[in-house]
Amino acid sequence: MNMMPNNSLSPQIMPIEENDFTRLFEIEQAAHLVPWSLGTLKNNQGERYLNLKIVHHQQIVGFAICQFVLDEATLFNIAIDPAFQGQHLGALLLQELLNQLKAKGIKTLWLEVREGNQRAIQLYQQNDFNEVDIRKNYYPTPDGKRENAVVMAAYLA
Ligand SMILES: CC(C)(COP(=O)(O)OP(=O)(O)OC[C@H]1O[C@@H](n2cnc3c(N)ncnc32)[C@H](O)[C@@H]1OP(=O)(O)O)[C@@H](O)C(=O)NCCC(=O)NCCS
């Protein structure tokens, strides 16, 4: 019987590093309806961010970009490679982010999500986010129209 530990096979969550961007941008383009540019991805880094990647089977399969100011934070982006969606990797990443934010003393995590993105909305509702506002015609759509944003918040205290 093989008694080797299989830690490298279970998903691991780690801070994003400089040489991750090529892979992160691939996931960004595959996962989002209207993806960020590589420049936007790279600009949303720094000391006011808590940015995490999730690694599964030794490759990056998703990431989260979160900015904090005083005791509030905003989740700007979360994406899982479509080939790996539906395996609870998004939930795992979000829960780890929430734990790390709590440990930093953050009290509220805000986010905006497309009204039609029911998969993401369900993930957020399962993790104690509440809908607090609707921003009318906030997001562009690929066909040149606009889509409402749902503003959600989770209280971490
Ligand atoms: C939203 C996203 C991050 C979720 O990641 P994921 O790994 O696919 O989600 P999980 O497998 O962890 O599922 C978590 C919950 O999401 C919901 N969900 C996942 N797949 C779903 C599907 N096909 N249909 C409906 N709900 C779904 C479920 O509530 C699920 O929990 P459950 O299986 O216990 O019921 C991922 O789908 C993604 O990258 N989407 C594109 C980018 C995006 O929309 N990001 C959010 C922008 S605000």
Separation CA 55–CA 77 (nearest Å)? 17
| Pocket of ligand 1, beta carbon within 6 A | 31-32, 78-80, 85-91, 113, 117, 119-120, 122-123, 126
| Average pLDDT of the chain to the nearest whole number | 94
Q: Which of 123, 129, 150 to mutate to test the pocket of ligand 1 (most atoms within 8 A of CB)?
A: 123
Report CA torsion sign: 85, 20, 29, 57: negative
Catalytic residues, which ones? 112, 124
Q: How far is CA 34 from the centre of its chain?
A: 15
Residue 19's pLDDT is what? 95
Q: Which of 28, 54, 55, 80 to mutate to test the pocket of ligand 1 (most atoms within 8 A of CB)?
A: 80
CA of 91 to the centre of ligand 1 (A): 7
Reported as a single tens digit per residue, the pLDDT across 108-155 is 999 999 999 999 999 999 999 999 999 999 999 889 999 999 999 999
pTM: 0.93
Separation CA 156–CA 51 (nearest Å)? 18
Atom of ligand 1 nearest to the CA of 75: 48
Place of tokens 């993401």: 120
Separation CA 101–CA 104 (nearest Å)? 5
Separation CA 13–CA 148 (nearest Å)? 31
Note the helical H segments in the chain. Answer: 21-31, 38-43, 89-103, 118-126
- Res. 12: pLDDT tops 60: yes
